[in-house]
Amino acid sequence: MSSKEKNSVTILTESQLSSRAFKDEAYEFYKELRKSQPLYPLSLGALGKGWLISRYDDAIHLLKNEKLKKNYENVFTAKEKRPALLKNEEPLTKHMLNSDPPDHNRLRTLVQKAFTHRMILQLEDKIQNIADSLLDKVQPNKLMNLVDDYAFPLPIIVISEMLGIPLEDRQKFRVWSQAIIDFSDAPERLQENDHLLGEFVEYLESLVRKKRSEPSGDLISALIQAESEGTQLSTEELYSMIMLLIVAGHETTVNLITNMTYALMCHGDQLEKLRQQPDLMNSAIEEALRFHSPVELTTIRWTAEPFILHGQEIKRKDVIIISLASANRDEKIFPNADIFDIERKNNRHIAFGHGNHFCLGAQLARLEAKIAISTLLRRCPNIQLKGEKEQMKWKGNFLMRALEELPLSF
């Protein structure tokens, strides 16, 4: 999107927000929005009218605003038809990311014990072994595509083992995850995504049948037990929760590991500083989360009650979408916001969200990134981009900031 196009656009569409061209220039576009149009109009097809939020303070306020709902049923009356895009989406929508209190609290409680600090620390040796085994496979070749060879398999193996899912199915999750996070309203994409979601539902049904007959100590078996008791989890909620844990359990971490490695490769001084001072790793991870936020845009929030923001009335049923990527580059909060600085102080980024929906797996993602990046730098001391940074392409994707691939040599 050129500067001329930016200045002439009055309403952004979903397809524009999802385009590779937008991803390439998003940071400059967000900078202009924060200055002059912090509430930017969106046209979201069947979902209706929406607004894009770009400033940090607005993001913090709206992420906790009780007038905004994640469950459309708390906004639309019985007589109002909820905008539906996919016929196979219904069994996968009853999860905690699409819920409001008290349902959200009930659903989160069922799984949060698996993500406590103590439980996450117990995974450290397992994650380290996975990282080493993945590098063992590529190190003799002296090159790798970080996404396919390392950043994707590491977290999907971890979450698959936590859930009790056969590892041979992990490549299927990659395709299904993309269908879930793809907000495209193009007819051909909708049809393809609907087909893929149908496959995912069938897979979950088969998986749950197996777990019912052969339960074990994994998280899915625990959720099935809660569902069988009737009052804690419905069948739809069970399928939706498993889907969410699979997708959210790896998608953000793939992008965190990839985007952090990319940022380090593009900022040699910061890479060398991290090599010389490994104790900066935690700080470097937080800066990577801020600088190239793995989740660029939040999932939708529905306006339940009208309110005024920046002089504009936000009407009931309007959609609010918050750019975490923009908020994390807000100059009023982060000095030299466009500079990648692994020693940044007071790094109050919101890459994992804020409020009730703060990412449940944030601690796990941080640990996976710490082990993945530390191991990569230790075992591949001469690692560098294979090609020019201008050749690296961001995926055309609504929610995520994700690279198509990241070729490295060492």
Q: Where are the domains of the chain?
A: 3-409
Q: At 368, which helix (H) or strand (E)?
A: helix 362-379
The answer to whether the CB of 14 falls within 8 A of the CB of 398 is yes
Measured in whole angstroms, the distance separating CA 301 from the mean position of its chain's CA atoms is 16
Mean pLDDT of 57-75: 96
Distant-in-sequence, close-in-space partners of 229: CB < 8 Å, separation ≥ 6: none
The C-alpha torsion from 195 through 197 and 199 to 204, rounded to 10°, is -170
Angle, helices 170-181 vs 235-248, to 10°: value is: 100
Neighbours of 349 (CB within 10 A): 22
Name the pLDDT band for 5 (thresholds 50, 70, 90).
Answer: very low
Q: What is the pLDDT of residues 104-141, one digit of tens each?
A: 999 999 898 889 999 999 999 999 999 999 999 999 99
pLDDT at 147: 97
Neighbours of 390 (CB within 10 A): 7
> Of all residues in the chain, what percent carry a pLDDT higher than 70?
93
Q: What is the pTM (predicted TM-score) of this model?
A: 0.93
Q: Is the per-residue pLDDT at 225 higher than 70? A: yes
Name the pLDDT band for 194 (thresholds 50, 70, 90).
Answer: confident
pLDDT at 94: 85
pLDDT at 231: 63
The answer to whether the CB of 294 falls within 8 A of the CB of 400 is yes
Name the pLDDT band for 305 (thresholds 50, 70, 90).
Answer: very high
CA distance 345 to 226: 43
Name the pLDDT band for 190 (thresholds 50, 70, 90).
Answer: confident
Q: What is the pLDDT of residues 340-382, one digit of tens each?
A: 999 999 999 999 999 999 999 999 999 999 999 999 999 999 9
Q: What is the pLDDT of residues 307-351, one digit of tens each?
A: 999 999 999 999 999 999 999 999 999 999 999 999 999 999 999
Residue type, 252: T
For the domain with range 3-409, which CATH number is right: 3.30.70.20, 3.40.50.720, 3.20.20.70, 1.10.630.10? 1.10.630.10
253: nearest Cα among 366, 399, 169: 366
pLDDT at 6: 44
Mean pLDDT of 31-57: 95
CA distance 176 to 195: 10
- Tokens standing for residue 261: 């490695």
247: helix, strand or coil? helix
Distant-in-sequence, close-in-space partners of 52: CB < 8 Å, separation ≥ 6: 12, 17, 33, 39, 40, 41, 42, 297, 321, 322, 323
CA distance 178 to 367: 24
Name the pLDDT band for 228 (thresholds 50, 70, 90).
Answer: low
Q: Is the per-residue pLDDT at 7 higher than 50? A: no
The C-alpha torsion from 102 through 352 and 155 to 174, rounded to 10°, is 80
Share the mean pLDDT of the chain.
91
Mean pLDDT of 1-13: 57
Residue type, 340: F
CA distance 162 to 217: 9
Q: What is the pLDDT of residues 267-288, one digit of tens each?
A: 999 999 999 999 999 999 999 9
